[in-house]
Each structure stands twice: as C-alpha cells, then as structure tokens.
Structure 1
C-alpha cells in the first residue's frame, strides 16, 4: 500500500470514528435536552 493511500484510508477512518461519536452525542444529547426542558416547564408550572 502506498503512503498517500495509507494516509487517506487512516483519515477516512478517523472521520468515520468522529462521525459516530457525533452521532452518538446527538442520539444521547437530544433526549437529555428534552428532559431538561420538561423539568424547567414543570418547575415553572409549580411556581405559578
């Protein structure tokens, strides 16, 4: 395998890994944000 090709493959692999982490972050993060919003809403309702 040529050096340039090896570097490209490594770069693509790194991007794929990063993409999976970002995807996972969004997957976990969105429900968490919704939960926080719900909690805030409940607290506001209790104060009224």
Structure 2
C-alpha cells in the first residue's frame, strides 16, 4: 500500500474520530513511531 495514502487515511481517521495520534495508536496497539513513519512515508518494508 502506498505509504502516503496510508498516512492520509490515518490523519483522516484521527480527525473524524476526534483522536490525537497517541489515542489512535493506543487503540491500534502500535507504537507512535510506527504511525509517525506511516504518516510521513518513512516506512521501509
């Protein structure tokens, strides 16, 4: 999946659900660094 699309989707979900990034990652059970990398497109497979 395109990392830039993933970042945009994460951002929209946070905004839609009125969540901070930290609240979002807590619900997902992943680290904030993981989400940050996805949002910025700095994730490597």
TM-score interval w.r.t. the shorter chain?
0.3 to 0.5
The structure whose residues are more often helix, as a share, is 1
| TM-score of the aligned structures, taking structure 2 as reference length | 0.37
Q: Which has the larger radius of gyration?
A: 1
Instruction: Compute the TM-score of the two structures, normalised by the length of structure 1.
Output: 0.35
Structure possessing the higher relative contact order (Cα contacts under 8 Å, 6 or more residues apart)? 2
